[in-house]
Amino acid sequence: MKFSENWLRTWVNPDLSSAELGHLLTMAGLEVEEQTAVAPAFNNVVVAQVLEIVKHPNADRLNVCQVNVGEAQPLTIVCGASNVAVGIKVPCARIGAVLPGNFVIKQAKVRSIESFGMLCSDKELGLAEDSSGLWILPDDAPVGTSIREYLELDDQLFTLKLTPNRSDCSGMVGIAREVAALTGSQMMAQAIPEHSATIPDTLAVTVADAAACPLYCGRVIRGVNAAVPTPTWMVRRLERSGLRSINAVVDVTNYVMWEMGQPMHAFDLATLSGNIAVRRAHAGETLTLLNEQTVTLDAQTLVIADDARVLALAGIMGGQGSGVETTSQDLFLECAFFHPDAMAGQARRFGLATDSSFRFERGVDFAATSRAMERATQLILEICGGQVGEIRTVQGELPTRAPITLRPSRVKRVLGITLEAAQIADLFQRLQLAFTTESNATGELVFNVQPPSFRFDLSIEADLIEELARLYGYDNIPALPPHAALTILPQSESQRALASLQHTIVTRDYQEIVSYAFVDEAAERTLCGNANPVALQNPIASNLAVMRSSLLSGLVEALRFNLNRKQARVRLFEVGACFAHADTGYAQTQRLSGIAYGTVQPEQWGSAARNVDFYDVKADVEALFAPQSVRFVAATHPALHPGRCAQIYCGDRVIGIMGELHPQWQQEYGMPLAAVWFEVELGALSSQTVPSMTEIAKSLPVRRDLAVLVDDSVSVQALLDAMQQANAPFVQTLNLFDVYRGKGVEQGKKSLAFRVLLQDTQKTLTDLEIEPSIVLLVQAMQQHGAQLRM
């Protein structure tokens, strides 16, 4: 919401500087996003009139001008502008003036002729990027008046970053009402007369969806002159609000919207066929909007139509062919209240974001709709003339505002300060909130507050407490330490805290990222292999149209971002939610995912450079799960290299996947090296076995090494699982410590060497006790075709 400070001060004029006013609004919750001057600093520039022009005797392109600056004698000024002419009024910088860029005007001799000032263009005053000559002012500009005073160039522009709940401040009336409440200043009254009909003309209005449009007002105005120029004061206020002047009638509707926060629209009555209807569109209807965009409508779209066609998207934008032009003579002026629930998301469906939809989506003051109609009528008659018909009003069930009970004791409990009943009453009166008081069952005096029609954000007691805090001043509320009983909550040893997991992976040299849960649909289908992603109804961007089923795409994008900035070694991880369709709606799971790229270690002298591989990241995953053990089983995934991909098992359940990025994606994303990615369920990581006490062995362990020959197709994990299931006595540890292929081993075979540690807690084992266990282990491996090497 952008507006002029001078415009605001015509409504309420507190004794505050511009900077103080901006700070006050920000601290009250209306954040001033930007505050800028209308014009750069310059001085001693006045309105002047050219009285006489004589060609310079020594220069063909120069003129010697006699200029009236409001003094007894005119000034002689040498000017080279091509558009200088007798009688025009222009800005004149007098001797001693300082223009933008610290350009000082001095008395100077120009080709032997003395010049006592400079006639200026708007570019030279810093008010335009380019200029073709002198800035010619209106004929009624008062000669001798400071140009800053005449054009109100000492004005400031405020841009508010309105939160969605403060729709009441989307117009000057609401902002002025807020400033008056904050400062206690008097708000200027606005006289808006009710216009009696001078012609019998009306249009019948029907509202087919009264829930979406509970209030619609329409009025016929005939005999207007839309070609008259819009008053300078109105154009100035609109331009400083970021709106361009179009024609007098359209400017009036825009002005009323900015003044009162009520969007309006004017139709050229001659282009309408029959009566007006507010209805849902028929499937297949089309409309070319004022921005020349053609949209196809459906049954969800609320429109304004006549008997022949759709005229406008209700509460969003009008259509071409029915708008007011400078040739228009008869108007149909509409002003309505569209329910925020019906307007939510409607503009975004067509890729639009208009000033009207901004206000209707948040809620406008339905009690001021007819008042806005009268205000627009008043301005049109004053500027364009004409005769008015009766206002046709169709009203359904307007939103009801239930009273809110406020307890002063609750105010004290929430804010930590004591506000007396008289203080609360004064603050409510400044906010224009009607209230009554009564004693509740406990004998406490409470306030029953009736929310006004312009405050859609007031619905519960906490809202009123917030209002009191804003007006009392957040800076005036002391910072008191809280007083509360602290209780140490139990923490189960079977659960690992997320912070512990994050600490573990950070110690493995990973850095955490946070990415959008919204991802590109194409990447979700191809990279993640999700053929049925969860689609968003109103995506914030076309490349963020679905919910992620994996954290992979966010990690890949972050990796590419770093690679594009010359980061050669990158290790990233993320903890976040993933989404998928389920039998009863949607499923949401928390996962931890990481990606590693580049060398295993940072560049150093102590070890040779080596790129990260599958087994390096496998070690990181095992470190995350320690002391639990997990298994890795060969698998496939659309994003991963088919021979370097594995599912991660915890017991018999798949809890994750890892592998090297597929060469296809490596090439598509422009990665010189392969990245290794893993993703596991956070629930599986968070669970752990509670440690239990075991007796410490009194004797040394016994080691036996078993070397076997197996087919290349037999996995090491299969042999380890078989030996574990054999439950051989005294066996404490089973590890693979060597894999060999080559001389001495026939083609298609591999040699595997396992370390077996056996131990008894009470005594040293003998060979007779060890041998049965070894036999069981060998027999278990023989079931997979293993042959013991001698």
Q: Report how far residue 247's alpha carbon sits from residue 257's, in angstroms, rounded to the nearest whole number.
A: 15
In order of 282, 297, 355, the CA distances from 310 in angstroms are 10, 10, 21
CA atoms within 13 A on the CB side of 649: 11
Q: Which residues pair with 591 in a beta bridge?
A: 576, 681
Whole-angstrom CA distances from 635 to 396, 593, 595 are 63, 18, 18
Q: Is the pTM of this model over 0.85?
A: no
Which helix (H) or strand (E) element contains residue 357?
Answer: helix 355-362
CB atoms < 10 A from the CB of 194, how many?
11
Q: What are phi and psi of 649, to 5 degrees?
A: -110, 140
Report the C-alpha gap between 456 and 342 in whole angstroms.
15
- Helix, strand, or coil (residue 653): strand
The predicted pLDDT at position 117 comes to: 92
Residue ranges in 201-352 assigned as alpha helix (H): 232-240, 248-260, 340-343, 346-349
Cβ atoms of 501 and 620 closer than 8 Å? no
- Please give the full DSSP string across 159-216, using - where no structure is assigned: EEE--TT-GGGSSHHHHHHHHHHHH-PPPPP---PPPPPSS-----EEES-TTT-SEE
Angle CA(116)–CA(118)–CA(119) in degrees, nearest 5? 130
DSSP summary character for residue 381: H
3-class DSSP state of 416: coil
For residue 115, is it left (φ>0), alpha (ψ between -120 and 50) or beta?
A: beta
Looking at residue 303, its pLDDT comes to: 94
Q: What pLDDT, on the 0 to 100 scale, is given for residue 260?
A: 94
- What's the pLDDT score for residue 652? 85
Low-confidence ranges of the chain (pLDDT < 70): none
Amino acid letter, residue 720 = L
Residue 767, burial from CB neighbour count under 10 angstroms (0-12, 13-18, 19+): exposed
DSSP labels for 506-566?
HHTT-EE----SEE-HHHHHHTS--SS-EE-SS-SSTTS-EE-SSSHHHHHHHHHHHHTTT
Q: At what angle do helices 461-472 and 421-430 cross, to 10 degrees?
A: 90
Pair of tokens at residue 632: 């890795």
Provide the pLDDT for residue 518. Answer: 94
Q: What is the pLDDT of residue 17?
A: 94
Which pLDDT value is given to residue 31? 93
From residue 470, how far is each of 27, 182, 410, 426, 476 by CA, in Å?
8, 8, 16, 14, 10
